[in-house]
Amino acid sequence: MINTNDGYYWAEGARDILRGVFEKNSLSPVYSTPAWLTAFFAYILPFSFETIIFYMSAFLSSLIVVPMILIANSLKRAEIGFVAALLASIAWSYYNRTMVGYYDTDMLNIVLPAFLLWSLILAIKTHEEKYLLFTALEIIAYRAWYPQSYSLEFSFFGLIFLYTLIFERKNLYNLKLLSIMLFAMMGLPGIVRFVVVVIIFMTYRSKKLDSYMYYLLGTAFVMFMLTGGFNPTWEQLKGYVFKDSIEQVNSVLNLHFFSVMQTVREAGHIPFTTFANRISGHTITFVLSVIGYIFMVVRYPVMLLGLPLIGLGFLAMVGGLRFTIYAVPPLACGVSYLIFACSDYLKRFLVNGKSNFVIRSAFVSICTVAILYPNIQHIIRYKVPTVFTKQEVKILEKINSVSSKKDYVVSWWDYGYPLRYYGDVKTLIDGGKHSGAVNFPVSYILTNPQKSAAKLARLDVEYTEKHFNLKEDNPEYNRSNIENMTLDYGFKDTNEFLASLNTDIKLPKKTRDIYIYLPFRMMGIFPTITRFSDLDLMSGNTIRRPFFYQTNRFRFGKDVVNLGNGVLFYKKTGMLKVGNQQVPVKEFYITAYDKNKKLIRQRQILHKDANISVIFMRSYNTFLVLDNDMLNSLYIQLFVFEHYNKNLFKPIVLSPIAKVFKLKI
């Protein structure tokens, strides 16, 4: 089984392509290049589908060595490419995101721009026409594989444009290169751009448009702007760099939602040491790589074209660790160049002959081993678990057996793709569809009492299906589900609408079944889940600040349980000490599973008017300290206690690992 959630997205698409059947509006990526390439391998190779997606990342990502060698060879220094390829292919972040089992677009996300860098270097150095076509086709291929490549493509274009503007304004070849890059970068379907690029290239070869190059470049720029221009780049910058914790959606009600980027680890700030290690394996290696790259640029100015990759990699300091992988190839070239430059410098102090060769070879070998060693050590230590365990997959397969392809499973977005792959169902949110607007209803469902949660689950599913059938010119199309619900039920305030869920409001007609998937692993992110619905959508202000504390590091004393982090529970007095503050405990619960895996519950009332309860989940070796809001939430009641409203829910799976309920309304 693979070890990345996103991999199940492409696996779902490839699976559906192979079987030729997929549910309408299922969000399965059946038209994506990664899914098609996977399906192709699965069709022609004599291995199981799971084996192919398990090893595919390691196979394709290893192709990084090819452009590394080609780049160095274009500078007449193939040996630099050899050492750089050794480092780049196993560098910390490159290995982490392309290792066996890490089935995701990262397996070619660096290989393709490295090829693009190679073709641009040769285009600038040789001015040969074939590299015009190579560059354009590489841009088209890169975009087909990874639609978010837009920013990097534009960075390469911008660098060449500045160079041409400053140094070679009348260079006809550079104008051709810039125009064909713009045509390749247009926001049009790949096949359209391919045809346009081929036609443009053929006219270049015939020299018919040489006297009109400025007009053609202007036309290319206009087409580029009309089909998207800078919008994709700006959207990415807003998402990863200019992050706001609260997003306001401009529509009728101007609702506010919590930004998902505040909770994505990959988009968080990282310390410099981590930043350096992920690019080069060690801080010293990183510093030497930067120095080497600077010297390499001085010796080979064309290597300035590597700046977009380095710049995107350095964006990790503010945009998150996922970007570090981009800086790996050019900086690997930098440290490799420094090694060979120092080796060349040794010539001045050595006598020509066999000893000269041996000493210099030994120096290069020792330096190469030195830069590789920290990365190899990281690989040995780096152990990544699978996304789900075998037992969890069995539960998802149980969902598959009792549901149809049109049914929905409600759970948090972290589990969306695996749920769709193993359960063969639809989801409300997943790894790609998880904005604050779509996360709000699911967060509300999981963190509120059963009655209102069940009603919102039915509403959100039916409104999601309704949205698929709306046309883009319909004003409801660009509004969130929660806003459409509020307006349809005659409210102008979402708080009033949400309050109405506790009344006998009329629900939409049921068109499909809904299942609730509640895994134990969700416990660790439950406080984060609450943040998305702990918000007044009208003002953006926090409504409540629910208290939830989980720990499996505790120590039993004679009269006190030390729950860690300054939290103490006094059993005799029923008081809880949090730091310097003492608060009464309302109820103390103990839950455990007997030998037949049946849940046993014990309850002790301590201070009936208090707001804090303590739960000891003995079978999980876990304590929970939580307030009344969290205690009464759907997740705690259904998963921890198996207390479910029989008029609203029917249990499907009651396993200690995960629990599945079917919505009755």
Looking at 381, 413, 443, which one is the last position of a domain?
381
Quick one: average pLDDT of 224-235? 74
The percent of residues above 90 in pLDDT, for the chain, comes to: 79
Each residue of 352-367: b (16+ CB within 10 Å) or e? eeeeeeeebeeebeeb
What is the C-alpha separation between 97 and 107, in angstroms, rounded?
7
Residue 316 scores a pLDDT above 90: no
The per-residue pLDDT for 238 is 55
Q: Which two structure tokens, joined as six digits, stand for 413?
A: 């977005």
Task: Note whether 246 and 301 are same-domain residues.
Answer: yes
CA 142, chain centre distance (Å): 18
Which pLDDT value is given to residue 22?
Answer: 75
Residue 508 CA to residue 452 CA, distance in Å, equals: 15
3-state secondary structure of 474: coil
Query: Per DSSP, what are the bridge partners of residue 569?
Result: 561, 576
Kindly report the average pLDDT of the chain as a whole number: 92
Residue 255: CB atoms within 10 Å: 25
Per-residue pLDDT averaged across 14-39, rounded? 91
242 has pLDDT over 80: no
Share of the chain above pLDDT 70, in %: 95
* Distance, CA of 40 to CA of 14 (rounded, Å): 9
Kindly report, residue by residue over 78-104, the tens digit of the pLDDT.
999 999 999 999 999 999 999 999 999
CA distance 579 to 568: 9
Residue 568: Cβ within 10 Å count:
16
- For residue 208, what pLDDT band results from cuts at 50, 70 and 90? confident
Query: 154 and 260 in one domain?
Result: yes
Does residue 167 sit in the same domain as residue 78?
yes
| pLDDT digit string, tens, across residues 105-131 | 999 999 999 999 999 999 999 999 999
What per-residue confidence (pLDDT) applies to 471?
85
Per-residue pLDDT tens digits for 499-545: 999 999 999 999 999 999 999 999 999 999 999 999 999 998 988 78
What's the rounded Cα separation, in Å, for the pair 466 and 468?
5
Residues in the chain: 665
Higher pLDDT, 23 or 473: 473
Q: What pLDDT, on a 0 to 100 scale, did the predictor assign at position 357?
A: 84
pLDDT of res. 615: 97
pLDDT level of residue 233 (50, 70, 90 thresholds) = low
Q: Which one has a higher pLDDT value, 7 or 209? A: 7
- Residue 547's CB is within 10 A of a number of other CB atoms, namely 16
What is 58-82 written as a DSSP string?
HHHHGGGHHHHHHHHHHTT-HHHHH
Of 631, 388, 424, the closest CA to residue 520 belongs to 388
- Which residue, chain included where needed, has tokens 């997943």? 430
User: Could you tell me if residue 594 is inside a domain?
Assistant: yes
Average pLDDT over residues 337-365: 86
Q: Does the structure show a pLDDT above 80 at 355?
A: no
394 & 376 share domain? no
Task: Say how far apart CA 124 and CA 345 lie, in whole Å.
Answer: 29
SS3 601: strand
On the CB side of 141, CA atoms within 13 Å amount to 16
Mean pLDDT of the 374-398 span? 95
Verify that 196 and 261 share a domain, yes or no: yes
Question: 573 and 510, same structural domain?
Answer: no
- Indicate whether 212 and 325 sit together in one domain: yes
Domain limits at 225? 47-381
Mean pLDDT of 332-353: 88
475 vs 148: CA distance, rounded Å: 28
The reply to whether 527 falls in a domain is no
The DSSP secondary structure of 208-256, one letter per residue, reads TTGGGHHHHHHHHHHHHHHTTTTHHHHHHHHHHTS--SEEE--SSS--E
627: left (phi over 0), alpha (psi -120 to 50) or beta: beta
Query: What pLDDT was estimated at residue 392?
Result: 95
Q: Is 528 inside a domain boundary?
A: no
Confidence of residue 26 (pLDDT cuts 50, 70, 90): confident
CA-based nearest residue to 419, from 439, 398, 435: 398
Residue 244: the pLDDT is 56
- What pLDDT is recorded for position 403? 95
Q: DSSP state, 367?
A: H
Distance CA 280, CA 87 (A): 8
Decide if 429 is inside a domain: yes
Distances 486 to 120, 464, 479, 499 between C-alpha atoms, Å: 53, 14, 11, 11
Bridge partners, residue 380, by sequence:
none
**Predicted pLDDT at 246:** 67
Same domain, 555 and 501: no
pLDDT at 232 over 70: no
Q: Does one domain contain both 400 and 299?
A: no
Q: Of 364, 381, 398, which marks where a domain is finished?
A: 381
Residue 314 falls inside a structural domain: yes
* Shared-domain flag, residues 494 and 578: no
pLDDT tier, 260 (very low <50, low <70, confident <90, very high otherwise): confident
Looking at the structure, do residues 133 and 214 belong to the same domain, yes or no?
Answer: yes
CA angle 469, 472, 476 (to 5 degrees): 75
Q: Please write the tens of the pLDDT for every residue from 162-176.
A: 988 888 888 899 999
Provide the 3-class DSSP secondary structure of residue 519. strand
Please say if the pLDDT value at position 266 is more than 70: no
Let me know: does 258 contact 245? Beta carbons within 8 Å.
yes
Q: Please check the confidence at residue 335 and state whether its pLDDT lies above 90.
A: yes
Residues 499 and 633 both lie in one domain? no
User: Does 625 reside within a domain?
Assistant: yes
Q: What is the mean pLDDT of residues 434-463?
A: 96
Pairing assessment for the beta strands 408-410 and 514-519 based on DSSP bridges: parallel
Write down which residue in 359, 381, 403 finishes a domain.
381
Is the predicted pLDDT of residue 417 greater than 60, yes or no? yes
**pLDDT for the residue numbered 313:** 93
Q: Tell me which residue of 532, 518, 533, 514 sits closest to 461, measured CA to CA.
A: 514
The CATH number that applies at residue 510 is 3.40.1380.40
In a domain, 500, yes or no: yes
Query: Given the DSSP bridges, would you call strands 426-427 and 599-605 parallel, antiparallel or unpaired?
Result: unpaired
List b or e across 423-433, with b for residues whose CB sees 16 or more CB atoms inside 10 angstroms.
Answer: bbbbbbbbbee
Domain count, the chain: 3
Position 26 in a domain: no
Give the list of residues 6+ apart from residue 589 with CB closer than 8 angstroms, or none.
601, 602, 603, 604, 613, 614, 615, 616, 641
The pLDDT assigned to 44 comes to 96
In three-state secondary structure terms, 622 is strand
Q: Is the pLDDT confidence value at 236 over 70? A: no
> Do the Cβ atoms of 395 and 518 come closer than 8 Å?
no
How far is it, in rounded angstroms, from Cα 265 to Cα 198?
42
